[in-house]
Amino acid sequence: MVQKTTELYRGKAKTVYNTTDDNLLVLHFRNDTSAFDGERIEQLDRKGMINNKFNYFIMQKLEQAGIPTQVQQLLSDDEVLVKKLQMIPVECVVRNYAAGSLVRRLGVTEGTALTPATFELFLKNDALHDPMVNESLAISFGWATAEQLAKMKQLTYRANEVLSALFADAGMMLVDFKLEFGLFNGDIVLGDEFSPDGCRLWDQATRKKLDKDRFRQGLGGVVEAYEEVAQRLGVNLD
């Protein structure tokens, strides 16, 4: 049986642990909630549990749709067993509606539908505030190969198809989201997490925000919104 051993890495909201199997890690979802590249951090009760179970639910849906993920087994309320990936330091972002940094950069109206959905790349670097990059830069600096980037883009668009339909069926709009990928035995695999921390979700009828923008914008009810999203999707939080 695989056992958790030493701490490998402590992120803003998760802690990664080594295990007795060199190919597997344990992700521990903490109650920490951060914004503005970690400048603001608060503890929100139950958030780690909700995000862990939400992420496991979503990753199962993506696996069923043919998208390889690192998730192996739900271990507890706030821990999951995953494959150990060699992470690619570039985030893939899809936008179905204008929000967040896109509105600030281009001065467009929040909520404007984007047809077709846009695809962007961002370098994972908190100190530089995750700057936007392009495929040429990613290839030149050795962050990823052209083939890897093409696969990441393909899988991200496929995830958008699957998840947009999933959320729409539950009365929600998938506004935008980010995905991170890594390599496992040379293959591109979806890693990190998919939760309301890394996407924007609005109620279809009212456009009420049901994601981490409630924390960023001081709207309150963050955990309650996350619970509502999970319950609408049928995620078992017991």
Phi and psi at 48, nearest 5°, equal: -60, -45
What pLDDT digit, counting tens, does each position of 215-226 carry? 999 999 999 999
Cα–Cα distance measured from residue 230 to residue 133, given in angstroms and rounded to the nearest whole number: 32
Assess whether 12 and 60 both reside in one domain: yes
The 10s digit of each residue's pLDDT in 90-131 is 999 999 999 999 999 999 999 999 999 999 999 999 899 999
231 found inside a domain: no
Residue 109 lies in a domain: yes
Q: What is the pLDDT of residue 41?
A: 82
Domain identity same for 68 and 125: no
- Give pLDDT tens digits for 167-189: 999 999 999 999 999 999 999 99
pLDDT interval class at 195 (50, 70, 90): very high
**The last residue of a domain, from among 33, 53, 83:** 83
Predicted pLDDT of residue 34: 79
pLDDT at 238: 87
Domain enclosing residue 176, as ranges: 86-221
- Answer whether residue 238 is part of any domain: no
Q: What pLDDT is recorded for position 22? A: 97
Identify whether residues 103 and 168 lie together within a single domain.
yes
Q: Would you call 104 exposed, middle or buried from its count of C-beta atoms within 10 A (0-12, 13-18, 19+)? A: exposed
Q: Is the pLDDT of residue 38 over 70?
A: no
